[in-house]
Chain A
Amino acid sequence: MTTALAEAAPPRGGNRLRFLAVGLGALVLLLASIGAAITLGPADVSLVNVRDILLNHLAGAEIPVRVSKEAIVWQDRLPRALVAAACGAGLGLCGLILQSLLRNPLADPYVLGISSGASSGAVVVAILGVGSAGLGVPGGAFVGSLVSFGAVLLIARLAGGGDDKLILAGIAVTQLFSAITSFVIFAFADSDATRGVMFWLLGSLEGVRWNGAALCGLAALAGTVLCLARAHVLDAFAFGDDVAASLGVHVGRERAVLITAAALLTAVMVSVAGAIGFVGLVLPHAARFLAGPLHLRLVPVTALVGAVFMVWVDAVSRIAFSPSPLPIGVSTALVGVPVFIAIMYRRRRTP
């Protein structure tokens, strides 16, 4: 993948080799990070155990390993690390799409009201029990995020359309659904339920399994492929819709496809892992710092950097306060905000 990308990118001096090195390095780093994340933790699992378990499952080996260790690594830590990687990549890409299309460096996957809708959906299922049999909490979150995104689109359209209206509608809907969420919690939840839901509102990878990993992984891969195929379209929006149109881009169609894709991708991630804040905003900026402004490089670098970042953030939040894990959204903000400020500072000095 990376070779084809470097080949297709316009020449920028000797940067091609550097880009290739960054891309390959990030891929290796991602695999190493996942390896580290599934080895680290309070349970007594050695690196040899992890190797044996992986060989058993991936290469068909039959090395005897204790069932409890096997369950921890293969049923708990690995799917969890993969969900973390997929969320990092997916939310980063959503941020990238929205920052390009809305031409706003502050756009993130949640400006469209998606996270607050997901939270409301989850809370309605978890606390009120509406549809809890058929949907479950993740299903409720997915439905909620689609409802809120639909409301944002409808309001923006009724207000006459345009990016500014979309952002304003997103803010309004976010506030509305946050209020609904708070209302349901205050009116109907007991303290246990509140604690469970709070975890979910701040993002949590507790108890994710392979079905969640498969769903998030497929969504993140599909998002990456779409963004790579649309890399030039994302570039073309740099100077706004008119310039994009004059470069042969079907502005309305591409905008609809990309924004809907970003909304669906976010909805999937939120439905599995809760509302993980700040990654979608920060990751594209960090990736720009490494890969430059052109999306053919920016897309894979954002996905890889996002994946590595989230795997480590999740591993640390899982281990540092063990046995009670820190909600991952708290960690992402704690790490993300200083990184964001550092990038702002560096960019001011070297424009």
Chain B
Amino acid sequence: MLQTTTTDATGFYFFNNLIPGDYQVQFDIRNLPRGCAFTFQNQGNSDELDSDVDLNGLGPCTNITGGEFDSTYDAGLLILAAIGDFVVA
């Protein structure tokens, strides 16, 4: 595990200072609120708007080049049952 973070109140997160190479983000499934699951992966035509992680919260391997700041690596949560918010931090 290279870095760990918590999103802000709007869900935003970002890993900085990554040396060029191949990276993968894991969203800790143990923190999924009850009644939630990760939504369908890679839907639609926009990488900006889709969810990149699989059912286990694991995203794809992506190559980060020098000076590349990739802000398209996100995760959608499917609300299976209405039990309140999913704020867990």
Note whether A and B form a binding pair. no
Residues of B within 8 A of A (CB): none
Q: Which residues of A contact B (CB under 8 A)?
A: none
